[in-house]
A and B are shown apart, each in its own frame.
Chain A
Amino acid sequence: MELILSTLINGLSLGGIYAMIALGYTMVYGIAKMLNFAHGDVIMVGGYVIYVFMAMNNPLLAILMAVIFCIILGVVIEKVAYKPLRGASPLAVLITAIGVSYLLQSLAQIVFGSANKMVTVYEFGDIKLFGVTVQISALVTLAVTVVVMIALTLFVKYTRLGRAMIAVSEDKGAAQLMGINVNGIITVTFAIGSALAALAGLFYLLKAPSISSTLGAMPGIKAFTAAVIGGIGSIPGAMLGGILLGMVECIAYKITAIAPYTDAIEFSILIIILLVRPTGFLGKKRREKV
Chain B
Amino acid sequence: MRMGKFKLNHYINYIVIGALTLSLTAVTLAGGRFDSSLLFLLEKIAISIVLAVSLSLVVGFLGELSLGHAGFMCVGAYLGGKVAALLVPALGNGPLTFLISLVVGGAVAAVCGIIIGIPALRLRGDYLAIVTLAFGEIVKSLFQNTSDETFGGALGLETPRYDKKYLFIFAFVIVLITLAAVQNFIRSKHGRAVTAIRDNEIAARATGINVTKYKLLTFTLSATFAGIAGVLYSFSNYTVQSAKFGYNYSIEILVMVVLGGMGSINGSIIAATLITFLNTKLATILTGDLAVLQNLLYAVILIIIVIYNNAPALKNFREKYNLQNLLRKLLRHKHDPDHVKDDEAKWDVVPTKIEMNEILSIDLTPQDKKGNTGNGGDK
A274:B127 contact, CB within 8 angstroms: yes
Q: With an 8 A cutoff between CB atoms, is B78 at the interface?
A: no
Which residues of chain A in 83-124 are interfacial with respect to chain B, using CB atoms and an 8 Å cutoff?
84-92, 94-96, 98-100, 102-103, 105-107, 109-110, 113-114
- The proximity string for A residues 48-77 relative to B, scoring 1 for CB distances below 8 Å and 0 otherwise, is 000000000000000000000000000000
| Interfacial chain B residues near A288, Cβ < 8 Å | 202
Q: With an 8 A cutoff between CB atoms, is B299 at the interface?
A: yes
Q: Whole-angstrom distance between the alpha carbons of A228 and B123 in the complex?
A: 13
Q: Whole-angstrom distance between the alpha carbons of A114 and B290 in the complex?
A: 10
Q: Whole-angstrom distance between the alpha carbons of A263 and B289 in the complex?
A: 28
Q: With an 8 A cutoff between CB atoms, is A267 at the interface?
A: yes
- The proximity string for B residues 292-304 relative to A, scoring 1 for CB distances below 8 Å and 0 otherwise, is 1101101110110
| Interfacial chain A residues near B27, Cβ < 8 Å | none
Q: With an 8 A cutoff between CB atoms, is B94 at the interface?
A: no
Q: Whole-angstrom distance between the alpha carbons of A89 and B258 in the complex?
A: 14
- Please judge, given known A-B contacts A81-B303, A110-B293, A278-B123, whether A261 and B141 are in contact too, CB under 8 Å: yes
Q: Whole-angstrom distance between the alpha carbons of A94 and B65 in the complex?
A: 9
Q: Whole-angstrom distance between the alpha carbons of A264 and B141 in the complex?
A: 6
A114:B292 contact, CB within 8 angstroms: yes
- Please judge, given known A-B contacts A84-B313, A98-B251, A274-B119, whether A92 and B353 are in contact too, CB under 8 Å: no
- Which of B39-47, B81-89, B130-138 is the interface stretch? B130-138
Q: Whole-angstrom distance between the alpha carbons of A228 and B295 in the complex?
A: 29
**Main SS of the interface on chain A?**
helix
A102:B298 contact, CB within 8 angstroms: yes
Q: With an 8 A cutoff between CB atoms, is B221 at the interface?
A: no
Contact of A95 among B133, B306, B353 (CB under 8 A): B306
- Please judge, given known A-B contacts A87-B312, A95-B302, A106-B295, whether A35 and B202 are in contact too, CB under 8 Å: no
| Interfacial chain A residues near B135, Cβ < 8 Å | 267, 271
Q: Whole-angstrom distance between the alpha carbons of A263 and B258 in the complex?
A: 29
Q: With an 8 A cutoff between CB atoms, is B145 at the interface?
A: yes
Q: How large is the interface on A (under 10, 10 to 19, 20 to 34, 35 or more residues)?
A: 35 or more
| Interfacial chain B residues near A110, Cβ < 8 Å | 289, 292-293, 296
Q: Whole-angstrom distance between the alpha carbons of A151 and B118 in the complex?
A: 40
Give min CB distance, B174 to chain A, whole Å. Answer: 28
Residue among A35, A92, A114, A270 having the largest count of chain B Cβ atoms under 10 Å: A92
Q: With an 8 A cutoff between CB atoms, is B254 at the interface?
A: yes
| Interfacial chain B residues near A105, Cβ < 8 Å | 295
B144:A95 contact, CB within 8 angstroms: no
Q: With an 8 A cutoff between CB atoms, is B26 at the interface?
A: no
| Interfacial chain A residues near B313, Cβ < 8 Å | 84
Q: How large is the interface on B (under 10, 10 to 19, 20 to 34, 35 or more residues)?
A: 35 or more
Give min CB distance, B63 to chain A, whole Å. Answer: 7
Give min CB distance, A11 to chain B, whole Å. Answer: 20
Q: With an 8 A cutoff between CB atoms, is B129 at the interface?
A: yes
B350:A81 contact, CB within 8 angstroms: no
Which residue from chain B places its CB closest to the CB of A81 in the assembled complex?
A: B303
Q: Whole-angstrom distance between the alpha carbons of A109 and B247 in the complex?
A: 18
- Please judge, given known A-B contacts A103-B299, A274-B119, whether A221 and B133 are in contact too, CB under 8 Å: yes
Q: With an 8 A cutoff between CB atoms, is B93 at the interface?
A: no
A109:B292 contact, CB within 8 angstroms: yes
A89:B293 contact, CB within 8 angstroms: no
Contact of B307 among A84, A94, A224, A225 (CB under 8 A): A84
Give min CB distance, A260 to chain B, whole Å. Answer: 4
| Interfacial chain B residues near A34, Cβ < 8 Å | 126
A91:B63 contact, CB within 8 angstroms: yes
Give min CB distance, A238 to chain B, whole Å. Answer: 16
Q: With an 8 A cutoff between CB atoms, is A1 at the interface?
A: no
Q: Whole-angstrom distance between the alpha carbons of A103 and B303 in the complex?
A: 9
Residue among A81, A106, A260, A270 having the largest count of chain B Cβ atoms under 10 Å: A106
| Interfacial chain A residues near B202, Cβ < 8 Å | 288, 290
Which residue from chain B places its CB closest to the CB of A29 in the assembled complex?
A: B126
Residue among A84, A105, A228 having the largest count of chain B Cβ atoms under 10 Å: A84
Q: With an 8 A cutoff between CB atoms, is A268 at the interface?
A: yes
Give min CB distance, A16 to chain B, whole Å. Answer: 22
Give min CB distance, B327 to chain A, whole Å. Answer: 24
Give min CB distance, B145 to chain A, whole Å. Answer: 4
Which residues of chain B in 81-130 are interfacial with respect to chain A, using CB atoms and an 8 Å cutoff?
118-119, 122-123, 125-127, 129-130
Contact of B137 among A86, A87, A113, A264 (CB under 8 A): A264
Which residue from chain A places its CB closest to the CB of B125 in the assembled complex?
A: A90
Q: With an 8 A cutoff between CB atoms, is A255 at the interface?
A: no
Q: With an 8 A cutoff between CB atoms, is A177 at the interface?
A: no
Q: With an 8 A cutoff between CB atoms, is B150 at the interface?
A: no
Q: With an 8 A cutoff between CB atoms, is A275 at the interface?
A: yes
Contact of A92 among B118, B123, B298, B309 (CB under 8 A): B309
Q: Whole-angstrom distance between the alpha carbons of A268 and B129 in the complex?
A: 14
Contact of B295 among A88, A94, A102 (CB under 8 A): A102
B292:A106 contact, CB within 8 angstroms: yes
| Interfacial chain B residues near A217, Cβ < 8 Å | 247
Which residue from chain A places its CB closest to the CB of B134 in the assembled complex?
A: A267
- The proximity string for B residues 339-366 relative to A, scoring 1 for CB distances below 8 Å and 0 otherwise, is 0000000000011111000000000000
A100:B299 contact, CB within 8 angstroms: yes
| Interfacial chain A residues near B129, Cβ < 8 Å | 35, 94
- The proximity string for B residues 164-179 relative to A, scoring 1 for CB distances below 8 Å and 0 otherwise, is 0000000000000000
- Sampled A-B contacts (30; CB under 8 Å): A34-B126, A35-B129, A84-B307, A84-B314, A85-B307, A87-B353, A88-B350, A88-B352, A89-B350, A91-B63, A92-B306, A92-B310, A96-B306, A98-B251, A98-B254, A99-B300, A100-B303, A106-B293, A110-B289, A114-B289, A217-B247, A225-B134, A228-B127, A261-B145, A263-B141, A271-B135, A275-B119, A275-B122, A278-B122, A278-B127
Given contacts A85-B306, A89-B350, A260-B144, 6 further A-B contacts (CB under 8 A): A35-B129, A90-B125, A110-B289, A110-B292, A268-B138, A275-B123
A residues neighboring B (CB under 8 Å): 29, 34-35, 81, 84-92, 94-96, 98-100, 102-103, 105-107, 109-110, 113-114, 217, 221, 224-225, 228, 260-261, 263-264, 267-268, 270-271, 274-275, 278, 288, 290
